[in-house]
Each structure stands twice: as structure tokens, then as C-alpha cells.
Amino acid sequence: MVKVIQDFIPSSNKNRPGNYMKPLYITVHNTANTAKGANAASHASFVKRSFTAVSWHFTVDENCIYQHLPLNENGWHAGDGRGTGNMKSIGIEICENSDGNFEKAVENAQWLIRKLMTEQGISFANVVPHKHWSGKECPRKLLNRWDSFKAGIATAHTGKKASTKPVKSAPAKSTTKPKTTSKKTYNLPSGILKVTKPLTKGAGVKALQEALAALFFYPDKGAKNNGIDGYYGPKTADAVKRFQLMHGLAADGIYGPRTRTVLESLLNQ
């Protein structure tokens, strides 16, 4: 349990745009500020200044966490303009002040991320480095150990592996055992799938659609069965394209071995 202090940026500030946000991602940063005293409290006063152009949701140091924005408002931290990083992700800065304890700050951030995943229903796959959105080398001290950083989120403070599936509004600290979710297997097809005339259909297409939906890339969100119908139509191609775009693949809407590999690695996390 780490102390979270709410100290919001004044709503009159330019760096508090107040656009409504439903957070789907968590974006991790390092402050890149090694000055003595550049802790969470000091960043809290920095973001509240009227001339500050950037903003994010939380700053974490070895002692505490400051929250600068409500979770249903966007900040300017991801470097992707009005893209998904800024408009749909919770920004977390981890302090690296030379008089602080960086490893303890990292632990506190892992605790916070796990709590936010649980409370906001954000999937493990959607916890991403700043670099994911804009290519910036950030979080600079965690990129070379990103996998172990994420593994630490799953085991944060409880010593038990967190479910990688989103959990809707479960209490942050539960004394009951986490549910052991039996992992569903997806028999993803090994060939190429694209929009053809007539449409390609079958169990392979359906497995692909289910796998995409499990990662929140629905063929047709809100439609019957979220568009999972076993046909590789334009909407399925669009879901593939959105997935590819988000994971650094050639976004052509054509399913092939590379898309399959990335899908499988995410589903197995």
C-alpha cells in the first residue's frame, strides 16, 4: 500500500485540457530528471505551473505517489498528439532523482499499475512504454528490462501472479485468492487471410476473430457476438489492421505469420 496524494492541476491550466477519457492503456515514463529533490512532490508543483505544457496522471517516487489528473481526463505525455497514447492512456512518470531510491520507486509504480489495471479493467498487454506511442527512448531506465518490469507488475506486493485478463472493479486489496483463469487456447491459422470474393470463412477465421476480441480488437464492437462470425470480411480486416498498427506491424489488414506470432505472444502473457 503506497500513499496516493491527489493534487490536481488547476482546471484553468492549458495542460489540463479536460477531454473526456476512458482509459484503455497505461503508459510508463521516466522523468529523465536526475537532479536532487526531483521527486514526486516536486513534479506535482511543476505540472501545476501555468506555463507547463505537458501533463500526466501520476508521478511515483520511493515514498509516495502524486496524482495530477483525474483518470477520466487526458493528459499530454505520449508525444502522439491526439492519438491513442494521449487520448486513451493513463500516464505514469517514475522519478529518477539522484537522492532517491529508483528501485523502490519502480516497485511502487508496479503496485500502482496493478491497482489501476484491476480498477479500470485494463489488460496486461495494454501496459506500454512511452516509446510505444512516439518512438521516444522512454522510460529510458526500463526499456532494456521491460519484460522483467512487466513481470514485476503481475507479482506486485502480493507475491501472486495477477490475472492478465482485465478484472472489472474488483477491490484493490483483496484477501480472497485471485481466480485461476484457465487459459483459452486459440487455434490460429498458419496461412494468409485477407478479404476475398467470396469471403473466406471457417473455424480458422473464427479463432482469429476470437483472439483479436480477447485483446479488445473487436471485428464489430457492439454488433451481434461483436462481429465474430467466421467470415474474413472488411470489418475483420479492419480489426487486424488496428491490431497491426498498434503492434508495429505492417498495417495492411492481411493476416499472416508475423501477425500470428505477435497475437500468440500476447495471448500467452
In whole angstroms, the minimum distance from the beta carbon of 96 to Zn ion comes to 12
In whole angstroms, the minimum distance from the beta carbon of 233 to Zn ion comes to 38
Angle at 43 between CA 42 and CA 45, to 5 degrees: 70
User: Measured from the CB atom, is 96 or 220 closer to Zn ion?
Assistant: 96
Q: Which residues contact 127 (CB under 8 A, 6 or more apart)?
A: 25, 26, 28, 113, 117, 150, 153
CB atoms within 10 A of CB 52: 16
Angle at 232 between CA 228 and CA 233, to 5 degrees: 95
- Which is it for the CA torsion 171, 125, 267, 221, positive or negative? positive
List contacts with Zn ion (CB under 5 A): 29, 130, 138
In whole angstroms, the minimum distance from the beta carbon of 57 to Zn ion comes to 13
Going by C-alpha positions, the residue among 2, 52, 57 that lies closest to residue 26 is 57
14 SS3 class: coil
In whole angstroms, the minimum distance from the beta carbon of 158 to Zn ion comes to 28
User: Measured from the CB atom, is 130 or 260 closer to Zn ion?
Assistant: 130
Question: Which whole-number Å values give the CA distances from 173 to 56, 58, 64, 114, in the listed order?
Answer: 25, 20, 18, 10
CB atoms within 10 A of CB 46: 15
User: Measured from the CB atom, is 9 or 240 closer to Zn ion?
Assistant: 9
User: Measured from the CB atom, is 138 or 153 closer to Zn ion?
Assistant: 138
User: Measured from the CB atom, is 138 or 246 closer to Zn ion?
Assistant: 138
In whole angstroms, the minimum distance from the beta carbon of 269 to Zn ion comes to 23
The Cα–Cα gap between 227 and 241 comes to: 15
In whole angstroms, the minimum distance from the beta carbon of 53 to Zn ion comes to 14
User: Measured from the CB atom, is 115 or 130 closer to Zn ion?
Assistant: 130
